[in-house]
Amino acid sequence: MTTERVAAAASTRIAFFSRYERLRSVTSTNDIVRGWMAEGTPEVCLAVADEQTAGRGRLGRAWIAPSGAALMLSLGFLPRYLPPDRLWRLPAVVALAMADAAEEVAGLPIGMLRLKWPNDIVVAADEGVRKLAGVLSEAEGTGTAAVQAVVGIGVNTDWRSEDFPPELAGSMTSLREASRGRPIDSDLLLAAFLLRLEPRVLALRDGHFDVAGWHDRQVTTGRMVRIEMPDGSAQEVRAVGVDGASGALLVEDAAAPGGERELLVGEVAHVRLGPAERDATRGAPVSGGRGVTS
């Protein structure tokens, strides 16, 4: 897609948004959108920022992103069309639309970007996975007619590996690095993302969700994972899939009915991934990785 086509497409998409602001520096785009929703702004509203002074991840973790090297945005939804146990589909469609857009804008092979449950976008390499983007979903009024959800996403775009913060250098990547040095324009990525987001949100309103696409991008399936719980305990188990109804991660459990059990997003603090075993004859990752290293 050419720059002109993406720009034209993005401008027509603005009509989909009830409010769209591009901001220079904010604490967190999630806070901006939450404030708008408290004033009664309808869905879908969108805040994009060049810089965040208090960008955050889940469970109070920090999100670090220098100006000019990342795309940071939040979307506000009034998802009365989703039952409470399907709210997880909002951050999922944001992650899926961004993965599609990022592959196109960075010229990556389709399917190269994977989702690490619940909603990280990662690049899988032999030595492990590297995080490209993270999603923060915050809901209020769940189960009531006043339900609101703010979904924020941060993507490492034109960030060079030599500039990665030392504490993240071993676990993160950027679109620039994933595409072997191709310069990445965050505005183009934003436009491509908005193009892909709209049909996915319209589908959700109609009761549809791309379970197959979500399922296919999961990087955990067939791998050993280390599940860290909020109380500090941890367990190593084999992930066998994801559940398109509950959004849960499915893990092996010999004691459970059917030999597997569900882990819901709110129950888990962190998932670490073990290496995939390789099929020596074809070089493809296969189920059965053992040992958790990162």
Residues within the interface to ligand BT5 (CB under 6 A): 28-30, 52, 55-59, 61-65, 72-74, 120, 131, 134-136, 152-154, 156, 168, 172
d(CA 232, CA 219): 24
- Tokens 């500039």 correspond to 163
* Strand intervals (E) in the chain: 19-26, 45-52, 70-77, 113-116, 120-125, 128-140, 148-156, 224-228, 234-242, 249-252, 260-263, 270-273, 277-279, 284-286
Rounded to a whole number of angstroms, the minimum distance from the CB of residue 217 to ligand BT5 is 16
Output the smallest distance, CB 118 to ligand BT5, in A. Answer: 8
Q: Check the CA dihedral 118-121-126-127 and report its sign.
A: negative
What is the smallest separation between the CB atom of 109 and ligand BT5, expressed in angstroms?
A: 21
Quick count: other Cβ atoms within 10 Å of Cβ 150? Answer: 26
> What's the min distance (Å) between Cβ of 157 and ligand BT5?
10
Q: For ligand BT5, which is the closer residue by CB, 138 or 277?
A: 138
Contacts of 260 (CB under 8 A, 6+ apart): 240, 250, 251, 252, 253
CB of 239 to ligand BT5, least distance (A): 17
Closer to ligand BT5 by CB, 55 or 289: give it.
55
C-beta of 177 vs 260, nearer to ligand BT5: 177
Task: Give the amino acid at 35.
Answer: G
Residue number with CB closer to ligand BT5 (156 or 221)? 156
**236/214 Cα distance (integer angstroms):** 24
**Measured from the CB atom, is 93 or 260 closer to ligand BT5?**
93
Which of residues 98 and 105 has its CB atom nearest to ligand BT5 in the complex?
98
Measured from the CB of residue 134, what is the shortest distance to ligand BT5 in angstroms?
A: 2
Distances (CA, A) of 21 to 73, 85, 228: 10, 30, 37
Residue 129 near residue 114 (C-beta atoms within 8 A): yes
- Residue 135 Cβ, how far from ligand BT5 at the closest point, in Å? 6
Give dist(CA 154, CA 56) in Å, integer: 10
HSE (side-chain half, CA atoms, 13 Å) at 237: 20
- Tell me whether residue 41 or residue 203 sits nearer to ligand BT5 (CB atom): 41
